[in-house]
Amino acid sequence: MTAEAGAWADVLVRHQLLHTAVLAPTGQWLVQHHPDAPVRVLAGATAMVDLAAEIQHRIRTTRNHAR
Protein backbone atom coordinates (compact mmCIF):
# COMPACT_ATOMS: atom_id res chain seq x y z
CA MET A 1 0.00 0.00 0.00
CA THR A 2 2.89 2.38 0.71
CA ALA A 3 4.22 1.94 -2.82
CA GLU A 4 0.78 2.69 -4.27
CA ALA A 5 0.46 5.79 -2.11
CA GLY A 6 3.90 6.91 -3.22
CA ALA A 7 3.01 6.43 -6.86
CA TRP A 8 -0.16 8.48 -6.44
CA ALA A 9 1.74 11.20 -4.58
CA ASP A 10 4.25 11.42 -7.44
CA VAL A 11 1.48 11.68 -10.03
CA LEU A 12 -0.41 14.35 -8.10
CA VAL A 13 2.71 16.47 -7.65
CA ARG A 14 3.89 15.94 -11.24
CA HIS A 15 0.52 17.10 -12.57
CA GLN A 16 0.53 20.03 -10.14
CA LEU A 17 -2.58 18.83 -8.33
CA LEU A 18 -0.54 19.00 -5.10
CA HIS A 19 2.41 21.28 -4.40
CA THR A 20 4.19 18.63 -2.34
CA ALA A 21 3.66 15.22 -0.78
CA VAL A 22 6.29 13.75 1.53
CA LEU A 23 6.29 10.44 3.35
CA ALA A 24 7.38 10.99 6.95
CA PRO A 25 9.41 8.36 8.85
CA THR A 26 6.28 7.71 10.95
CA GLY A 27 4.35 6.53 7.88
CA GLN A 28 2.29 9.70 7.78
CA TRP A 29 2.08 11.79 4.62
CA LEU A 30 2.68 15.53 4.70
CA VAL A 31 0.86 17.23 1.83
CA GLN A 32 0.48 20.80 0.73
CA HIS A 33 -1.96 21.90 -1.97
CA HIS A 34 -0.25 25.23 -2.73
CA PRO A 35 3.06 26.76 -1.62
CA ASP A 36 1.32 29.10 0.83
CA ALA A 37 -1.25 26.56 2.06
CA PRO A 38 -0.96 24.89 5.45
CA VAL A 39 0.64 21.46 5.57
CA ARG A 40 -1.91 18.69 5.99
CA VAL A 41 -0.93 15.51 7.84
CA LEU A 42 -2.45 12.31 6.49
CA ALA A 43 -2.56 9.27 8.79
CA GLY A 44 -0.94 6.85 6.36
CA ALA A 45 -0.93 5.23 2.93
CA THR A 46 -4.68 4.65 2.88
CA ALA A 47 -5.33 8.32 3.57
CA MET A 48 -2.99 9.29 0.70
CA VAL A 49 -4.82 6.98 -1.72
CA ASP A 50 -8.15 8.35 -0.46
CA LEU A 51 -6.93 11.90 -1.14
CA ALA A 52 -5.97 10.90 -4.68
CA ALA A 53 -9.47 9.48 -5.18
CA GLU A 54 -11.03 12.71 -3.85
CA ILE A 55 -8.95 14.80 -6.25
CA GLN A 56 -9.86 12.53 -9.18
CA HIS A 57 -13.54 12.78 -8.28
CA ARG A 58 -13.34 16.58 -8.08
CA ILE A 59 -11.62 16.75 -11.48
CA ARG A 60 -14.18 14.47 -13.13
CA THR A 61 -17.10 16.31 -11.54
CA THR A 62 -15.70 19.67 -12.69
CA ARG A 63 -15.19 18.38 -16.24
CA ASN A 64 -18.73 16.98 -16.40
CA HIS A 65 -20.21 20.29 -15.22
CA ALA A 66 -18.19 22.20 -17.82
CA ARG A 67 -19.75 20.23 -20.68
Q: What is the pTM of this model?
A: 0.87
pLDDT digits (tens, 9 = 90+) for 32-63: 999 999 999 999 999 999 999 999 999 999 87
pLDDT at 67: 60
Q: How far is CA 56 from CA 8, 32, 36, 42, 59, in A?
A: 11, 17, 22, 17, 5
Residue 10: partners with Cβ closer than 8 Å, 6 or more residues away = 21
